[in-house]
Amino acid sequence: MRIYILFFFIFFPLLAFSQSEPKVSFYQGNFQFNGKLGSYKVKRISKPMEGIVSAICKDSADGSVLVVSAPETAGIGITELILPVGTNTRFFGGGEQFSHIELTGKHMPFLVEENGIGRGDKPATRTANLVGAGGHEWSTYCPIPLILSTDNKAYLIENDCYSEVDLTQKGRMRIWVDDDNLRLKVFEANSPKELIQRITEYTGRMPELPDWTYGTILGIQGGSEQVRQLVKDAKAHGNPVSAIWIQDWVGKKQTSIGSRLRWEWKPDDTTYPNFMEFCAEMHTQNIKVMGYINPFLLEGTDMTNEALEKRYIVHRKDGSPYLIPFGGFKGYIIDLSNPQAREWIKGIIKTNMIGNGLSGWMADFAEWLPIDCKLHSGQDPKDYHNRFAADWAKVNREAIEEAGKLGEVVFFSRSGFTGSSGISTLFWAGDQMVDFGENDGLGSAITAMLSSGLSGLAINHSDIGGYTALKFPFFKNYLRDKEVLFRWIEFEAFTPIFRTHEGLLPNNMVQYYTDDETQEFFARFGKIHKELKRYFQKLIKEASETGVPVIRHPWLVCPNDSNCLETDYQFFVGDDLLVIPVTERGQTKVRGYFPEGTWVHYITGTEFMGGRWNEVYAPIGTPAVFKRK
């Protein structure tokens, strides 16, 4: 039943309270509410109530705070607030979004979940939805309920629970939270850069990166001998390799659907014998070693048995361990609401990872916490689900700090929530399809960087070439080819981190090491990326001090130029490097807007006048990248 009450505030908002018990279904990190992807489905029943509303509006140094609440005895479950906004105002942010850079006219949910496969791109989504894993336009690993407006205001929902923002009606913003109170922080500034600075003063900022991260990071695997050879070959082609990322440092497990990583967080002696010595050997070549970890534990291992005995894993409401199928095998989620469990997994990170010589790792997943589980803390899991993602990053950050390695060791996060900008040392955009799809391909990675940058995540990157491959009989196959790989290499060369990934089906896809052509192309852009090291260092230092992202939406650079609000995939690196990537198969020309000034093609030296839209020839190997003269 829905119960609501209306009244007017100082600035005439509309307020409502509701009751709802949504039915939640969960599969492979994707959630549905009452059969609907991405949002609740609540009926409105008019029944005014009196004497239950408490509201506070106050100013503070870091933004105005609006608190709306009802007494616990009222049994209220949902709070809704409608605020007036400018009729011509445009909106951005929302955390890391993959389908939409601009949020004007949109209605978006904020729930941490798997991105999904395809997310609307056809026919991949339809195929993935045969098992409920297709995702939708708002599914994201890192939603942040933060909305920025072109009148230099920002609205941050501070509740951790599921929430929605509706911008479909001009002149109003509807905010909806699954809680009996709403905490909203409002920021104001004189420019979008200043706005981000004020936001990140409150939510936190990402630290500077260590020197070794500015070279090429090879995402390779297959054991110590295979890795040694691939490093040797890349260096022979002149690639400035500074690190290797070996996700299979823990070994692999054969399953009914193929080979998967073995989720027991210690070196695999078969794949990498004498792992500490292997890391030391790489260090003598000035190459750092990175690994992999997630908050799951594989069923049947010694590490898992210890966690079960000590009740360090998430349980069902009946008190039994919550065993989850992960595709080919089953496992458990570490209960991060349990302080002892957090100390336990931190100890494993400090001993088995940092202690063995790893200089960084992918801190994967954290979107799968079931809504119907039982937590050690006694907290309602629907209120902790989003926060779990930030807490997973916090565990990794604290392990590095307690080992005295902050500034030397880096982890990169996939999932996150409000406050992740002050916790994670680096982000990556998760698992894109290995194609040019708008919602889940190369273009979506650009959208993710722009939206996340506007939301406070100042340092982000994506897997070069994408990750998700599909190969099924009677369906279209999605396997990486040279064109996808080369265009992704061009794009990522102008982002802070230049890292490859072999992908989901590595033996079926083109890799940077497939032949001499791919090696040479990759090495050429590895050198270009390394040329930008001092520029990236300057921008990352600025990001750590101000929160202004490295990859910038044109609105941040030229807030008074309305044309900068009409661009699609183009972006700035800092204020002085303009990038217009190719995002379609077979495309050899791009069209973009050049702000006032003179812009010099980074590769050809050709000059272009600003203050206009230009079409630029961009064959493979000559991306449309321009320096401000």
> Active-site residue numbers?
364, 367, 431
Which tokens belong to 421? 């900008």
Residue 418's nearest CA partner among 61, 177, 101, 152 is 177
CB 587 within 8 A of CB 566: no
Residue type, 192: P
Burial of 87 (0-12, 13-18, 19+ CB in 10 A): exposed
Beta-sheet strands, E only, within 96-203 = 107-110, 143-149, 153-157, 163-166, 172-177, 181-188
Cα 43 to Cα 4, 13, 17, 111, distances in angstroms: 11, 21, 12, 20
Q: Long-range contacts made by residues 468-473, C-beta under 8 angstroms, separation at least 24? A: 468/117, 468/431, 468/432, 468/433, 468/434, 468/440, 468/503, 468/504, 469/433, 469/434, 469/503, 469/504, 469/505, 469/508, 469/509, 470/117, 470/124, 470/127, 470/128, 470/433, 471/505, 471/508, 472/127
Q: How far apart are CA 281 and CA 534, in angstroms?
A: 28
Find the distance separating the first CA and the last CA of the chain, reported in whole Å: 63
Cα 618 to Cα 17, 21, 587, 592, 622, distances in angstroms: 54, 53, 8, 12, 5
Residue 100's nearest CA partner among 61, 65, 143, 58 is 143
CB 368 within 8 A of CB 333: yes
